[in-house]
Amino acid sequence: MIALLGILLNVGCILTLGYSLWILIESFVIIDVPPAIGHTVKLRILHCFGQLIITWGCILEKLRICSLPRLCQFLHDLFPIRKDPKVVVTNLRFGTIRVRLFQPKAASSGPRRGIVFYHGGGTVMGSLDAYHNLCSFLAKKTDSVLLSVGYRKLPDYHYPVCFQDCVNATIHFLKTLKQYGVDPARVVVSGDSVGATAAVVVTQALVGRTDIPKLRAQILLYPALQAINLQLPSYQQNKNIPVITRHLMMCFLRYFTIDPCWEDALLTGACIPANMWEKYKKWVSSDNLPERFRHKDYKPEFLAPFNEAAYLETRHLLRADNAPLLADDQVIAQVPEAFLVTCEWDVFRDDGLLYKRRLEDQGVPVSWYHAEDGFHGCTILFDSMLFSFPCSEKVMTAVVKYLMGI
C-alpha cells in the first residue's frame, strides 16, 4: 500500500512538473515582448509566473479545492508591506467596506490634499495590502491624506458591488473630510486598471450632487472603459503582450457573470445590435484615434453578424456604469479635470485615448502622460526590487508631479 502511494505521488509530481513546463514553453512561444519595454526577460518571467498561477488556480477550482480569485489574492498579498515611520496608517470600515487611511505624521499648517484610491486587479486580484506600499508612497511624497478603498470582489461578490462600494465609500469620505484634516476643495479620485474605471464611474455618479464637496480631479492610470469595440488597434496590437493579454482580459468577465462561451461574440462585436453601434461609434470607433496609434497591421473594425443570444447575455456590459466611455455628453461635460496615463503596450490603451478625446470635446481639461515603454499594471511594480521597470517609476513620477500642482 505504501509502495503504491509512493508510485502515485511520484507520478503526480512528474505530471505537475511536466504540465508546468508545458505552460512555460507555451508562454514563451505565444507571448510577444517588444524590446521597447526593456528588461524583456524579466517581463517574460513575470508573465510565466502569472500564467502558472492562473492555470493551477483554474485546476484547483475545478477540483473544488480553492477558487482562482482566492488563490490569486492569497499570493498577491504575499507582497511585503513596508511600514513607513513618517506615515500613520489606520484601518477603518465604512459600513461593510474596508478602507485604509494614510496620513503624513508631520504636522500641517492647514488642511491637506485628499486622495481616494481604488486599486486594480480586475476584481480578481489586488487588495489593500497589495497596494499598501504604493498608497503610503503617494501620501508621503505629496503630503496628502489618502484613503484606499477595499471594495468587495470575486469570488463572493459580482457586478455591480465593486463600483457601488467605490461610490459609497467616496461619498462617506467626502462627508467627513474635516475629521481627517482634508481640504474639501482639493479632493481627487484615482486608481489603476479597474480602479481607474471605478474612478471614472465615481466622477460620473457624483455629477450634480450638491450635498457633498465637488471633486477637484480624476487621476486615471490605464483605465478599461468600454466593451463595445474590442477590435481597436491596441486590442489587436497588444493581444499577446504581458501582463494582460487579450485572452486573460476575457477571464475577468466572470465578475459580470458572463459565460466564457461568449468570448468570440464579444471580441468580434456579434453581441452589438446595429442601431447601438451606429449610436456609439462616434465615440468608440478607431476613427477617433490619432493616426500614430494605428498599428501598421491594424484591420479596421468589422462587426460579425448579430447574435441576439449573445447580446441578451452580455448587454449589462453596455451600461454606462460599466462602460463609462458611453456616458451622455451632459454627464461628461460636468466631470472634473483629468490626469490620464496610457501605456503603449497595453490592450486598454485606446480606451484611455478615446476617453481623452471625449473629455476634450466637452471642454474638460486633460493632462496626459503616455508611457512609450509602459505596459498594463506597471505601477504596482514601482517599488519592487526584483521586478521593477523604468516605466513604473516614470509613471509614478508623473502622477506625483500632477498631484503637487493641485
The 10s digit of each residue's pLDDT in 259-268 is: 989 999 999 9
Report whether 41 contacts 94 (CB < 8 A). no
Residue 1 has pLDDT above 60, yes or no: no
Q: Which three cell numbers stand for residue 383?
A: 517599488
| pLDDT, position 369 | 98
Is the C-alpha dihedral spanning 397, 89, 86, 215 positive or negative?
positive
What domains can you pick out in the chain, each with its CATH number? 2-50 (no CATH), 87-226+320-404 (3.40.50.1820)
Report whether 166 contacts 190 (CB < 8 A). no
| pLDDT, position 62 | 87
- Identified catalytic residue from 27, 119, 376, 392: 376
Q: What is the mean pLDDT of residues 275-303?
A: 88
Residue 143 has pLDDT above 50, yes or no: yes
| pLDDT, position 314 | 95
Q: What is the mean pLDDT of residues 1-9?
A: 53
- 376 carries an active-site annotation: yes
Q: What is the mean pLDDT of residues 143-149?
A: 98
| pLDDT, position 276 | 92
- Of the pLDDT bands very low, low, confident and very high (cuts 50, 70, 90), residue 3 is low
Residue 36 has pLDDT above 50, yes or no: yes
- Identified catalytic residue from 193, 234, 286, 392: 193
Cα–Cα distance measured from residue 305 to residue 236, given in angstroms and rounded to the nearest whole number: 20
- Identified catalytic residue from 183, 346, 351, 373: 346
- How high does pLDDT run on average in the chain? 90
| pLDDT, position 12 | 46
| pLDDT, position 57 | 85
Other Cβ atoms within 10 Å of 223 Cβ, number: 28
Helix (H) or strand (E) holding 6: helix 2-30
Residue 11 has pLDDT above 50, yes or no: no
The one-letter code for the residue type at 35 is: P
**For the ranges 15-24, 262-271, 360-369, the one whose mean pLDDT is highest:** 360-369
Q: What is the pLDDT of residues 210-239, one digit of tens each?
A: 999 999 999 999 999 999 999 999 999 999
| pLDDT, position 27 | 58
Q: What is the pLDDT of residues 307-360, one digit of tens each?
A: 999 999 999 998 888 899 999 999 999 999 999 999 999 999 999 999 999 999
Q: What is the mean pLDDT of residues 100-110?
A: 95
Report whether 215 contacts 199 (CB < 8 A). no
| pLDDT, position 8 | 46
